[in-house]
Amino acid sequence: MTQSLEANKKVVREFYDLAFNQKKPEEAVAKYMGPYYRQHNPMAPDGPDAFIAFVREFTKAFPSLRVDFKREIAEGDRVALHSHMVRKPDDRGLAVVDIFRLENGKVVEHWDVIQEVPEKSANNNTMF
């Protein structure tokens, strides 16, 4: 079980890195996405082609985009990826939690929660 959880985390990490950091969403889809893709982000439609178009537009709008993975948590067929997304060099960025569901080692479903990193915090803890 631990081996498959680690394999699922690796698939998600490589899928996200290839799509967003390396700006190769077509390759990410071809290598890591299953036969369908169900999207729960209300700003993005379902399907592999929609994912590719979304990533293309997002990385075009933010050519300096960088996603720094902070932690991965796997349970069953789901992987949660907590990351710091920085859209441009002077940006404090976003704290992002993406949750993926896999079937047969391929990404087939996605949820996300996104929060701006504030200038000031009510505590001394970081978001990461």
Question: How many domains is the chain built from?
Answer: 1
Give the torsion through C-alpha atoms of 62, 120, 70, 80, to 10 deg. -90
Q: What is the pLDDT of residues 9-67, one digit of tens each?
A: 999 999 999 999 999 999 999 999 999 999 999 989 999 999 999 999 999 999 999 99
Q: Is residue 106 part of a domain?
A: yes
CA count, 13 A, side-chain hemisphere, 96:
21
pLDDT of residue 33: 98
DSSP 92: -
Q: Does residue 89 sit within a domain? A: yes
Local structure of 126: helix, strand or coil: coil
Amino acid type, 56: R
Check which CATH number belongs to the domain holding 71 and give it.
3.10.450.50
Q: What is residue 1's predicted lDDT score, i.e. its pLDDT?
A: 65
Strand, coil or helix: 24 = coil
DSSP tag of 20: I
In this prediction, residue 9 carries a pLDDT of 98
Distance CA 116, CA 119 (A): 9
The mean pLDDT value for 95-99 works out to 98
Residue 43 forms part of a structural domain: yes
Q: Is residue 94 part of a domain?
A: yes
Instruction: For strands 106-116 and 78-86, give the pairing.
Output: unpaired
Take residue 33 and report the two structure tokens written for it: 């996405």
| Residue 123, domain member (yes or no) | no
| CB-CB neighbours of 91 under 10 Å | 15
Q: What pLDDT does residue 2 have?
A: 73
Q: Rounded distance, CA 73 to CA 81, Å?
A: 7
Domain range for residue 77? 2-116
